[in-house]
Structure 1
Amino acid sequence: MGPPPKKRRVGLILGIVGGALAVVVVGIVAVAMLGSEVDKSFPKAEYKLTIPKTVLDGRYTLTQDLSGTQGKQIEDEADGAWDARDTKAAVGQYAATDPAKKNAGVVISGMYGRFKNTDLARKNMMQGAAKSDGAEVAVPAKDFKPAGSDVTITCQVLTKQQATIPMCAWADGNTGATVAEITPETALQDPSDVDLDAAAATAAKIRSEIRKPIG
C-alpha cells in the first residue's frame, strides 16, 4: 500500500486566490497537506460571492468576468481540500467608469463555499501574491478592522516592475477574496506612503457589495 493521497489545506488553496491576481500583478503558490475532516464540522453555506456589473458605488465597471477561466483553475486546485467544501470561484477585472480616470482598475479574485482555517487563509493569500515573479513585499502584511466591518482585512504593499501595488484580503467561513485597486497615482507612490487603512476600508466596501446571502 502506498501513502494516502495528499489533500490541500484551504488556507493554502486560498493562496491561489491571491495568485489569481496574476491577471494583473501577481502569481500562484500552493502547498499540499495531509489531513481529513468530517463534513458536519464545516460552517453552513449561507453566503456566496458575485461579480456585479459595478463596484465601489459605480466607480468601477466590469470589463472581464474570469470566473470560468482563472476561476476554474482555482476550483480545480481546491477540489479535495480537506478543510473546504462546495467551492466556487469568483474572479473579475474592473476599469474606472470615468474615462478621465483611465488606467485605474480593480481586480477581485475570490472563492466561496464552506471553509475552515480562515486566519491562516488570509496569511496565505498574502504569501501567494508575494510569490509572483518579480514581486517583492515592500510593506509586510498587517491586519485591519475597518469601521462597520465584521471581519478582519489583511493588507500589504507589493512592488512589481517598479509599480507600487496595495493588496488586501479577507476570509470568513463562506467567502475569501483578494482585492487590488490600482491607480496611476498609487502605482507611483513610495510603498511606505500607501494608506493601508484606506485600502482595507476599500476591500471591506467591496466585500459588502459582492458577498450576498444564498437563496
Structure 2
Amino acid sequence: MSMPSAPQSPYQTPVSPWGTTPPAPPSKSRAPLVAAIIGGVVFLVVELLVTLALIGKELESGYPRGQFSLTVPRTLLDGRFVLEKDDSLTEGPALQRIWRHSWDAEDVHGVSAVYRPASVERGDLVVTGMYGRFKNADEVRSRVLADNASKNSRGTVLTPPEDDTPSGSRITISCEALTRTWTDGSTLTYPVCVWADGNTWARVADMTLIASRNLDLKATARSTLQIRSEMMKPIT
C-alpha cells in the first residue's frame, strides 16, 4: 500500500517550469548613476572656476592702467641737484619683495637714488619710490610715512604728517619732519614728503643743511611735486 505524499509547504519555493529555481532578475547597471555624479562634480568645479575668475576680474578692475614709470634723471629741480648714486639695482628688489604681496599694489618696480646739491650747499636729497599699479593712494602715503617711525628706521618723527595739495595740482603731498642721530653724535632735522598716485609713489628726504635750517614743509611739498614731474615718464 503506497503512502500518501507529504503536503507541500506553503513556503516552499515553487518549481520552475524549467525544472530549476527561476533566474534572478538582472541587476541594474550603475553606469548612469556614476555618470550623473561625475557630471555634477564637473559642473560644480566649472561653476567655482567661473566664480573665481569673476572675482579676480572684479579685483583686477580696481587697478589703474600702467601709464607711467619712475626714472632716475641726471639732475632734479631744474639742475639744482645732481645724481650722486643710483641704488635702484640693489634697493629696488628689496622694495619689490616688500610690496609684491600687498593687496593694493601690482607690477611693482623699485627706484632709489641719492642727489647732491650742484652748489656748495652740503647734504643729500634721497628719493626712494616705486612704479606699477596702486590702489588707495591715501593709504599708500600713510604706509610709507609710517615706515619713518618704524623700529627699523633711524629717524624720529618730530612733526606729525601734514597733507598739502599745492596750488594748480590735484596731487596730495604728505610731509613730516624727522630728527636723525648718527653714530658720531651728529644730529639733523629734515623734512620728508611722500606722493602717491595710481602709477607711482616716492619718498623724498631733503637732508640738506638749508632745508634743515628752514624746515618749511609747504615749500618741500612744492619741491616734491616738481620732482614727481621730472621723474615720471610715460610708458610707450
Same fold judged by TM-score > 0.5? yes
Aligned to 1:165: 190
Q: What one-letter code is carried by the residue in structure 2 that aligns with 1:83?
A: D
Q: Residues of 1 paired with 2:226 and 2:65: CA distance?
A: 24
Indicate which of 130, 137, 148 corresponds to 2:168: 148
Poorly superposed stretches of 4+, deviation over 3 Å: none
Aligned to 1:3: none
Q: Which consecutive unaligned segments of at least 5 residues does structure 1 have?
A: 1-35
Task: Report the TM-score, using the length of structure 2 for normalisation.
Answer: 0.70
Distance apart, 1:130 and its partner CA: 2.0
Distance apart, 1:134 and its partner CA: 4.4
Q: What one-letter code is carried by the residue in structure 2 that aligns with 1:174?
A: N
What pairs with 1:12-161 in structure 2 (closer than 5 Å)?
Answer: 38-98=59-119, 100-101=120-121, 103-131=122-150, 132-161=152-181
1:136-181 CA-partner distances (Å, limit 9, x unpaired) = 2111000001122221000000111121010000110110110011
1:118–1:171 Cα contact (<8 Å) kept: yes
Q: Residues of 2 paired with 1:80 and 1:139: CA distance?
A: 31
Aligned to 1:4: none
Q: Residues of 1 paired with 2:168 and 2:196: CA distance?
A: 16
Q: Residues of 1 paired with 2:206 and 2:223: CA distance?
A: 8
Q: Residues of 1 paired with 2:77 and 2:92: CA distance?
A: 22
Give the SS at the match of 2:109: strand
The total of aligned residue pairs comes to: 174
Q: What one-letter code is carried by the residue in structure 2 that aligns with 1:53?
A: R
Higher relative contact order (CA 8 A, sep 6+): 1
Q: Residues of 2 paired with 1:214 and 1:73: CA distance?
A: 23
Q: Residues of 2 paired with 1:171 and 1:208: CA distance?
A: 12
Q: Which consecutive unaligned segments of at least 5 residues does structure 2 have?
A: 1-55, 182-186
Indicate which of 212, 220, 223 corresponds to 1:202: 223
Give the SS at the match of 2:64: coil
Distance apart, 1:133 and its partner CA: 4.5
1:130–1:158 Cα contact (<8 Å) kept: no
Task: Report the TM-score, using the length of structure 1 for normalisation.
Answer: 0.76
1:51-108 CA-partner distances (Å, limit 9, x unpaired) = 101000011111111111011100122223222111111111101112x22x232111
CA shift in 2, pair 1:134/1:114, >3 Å: closer
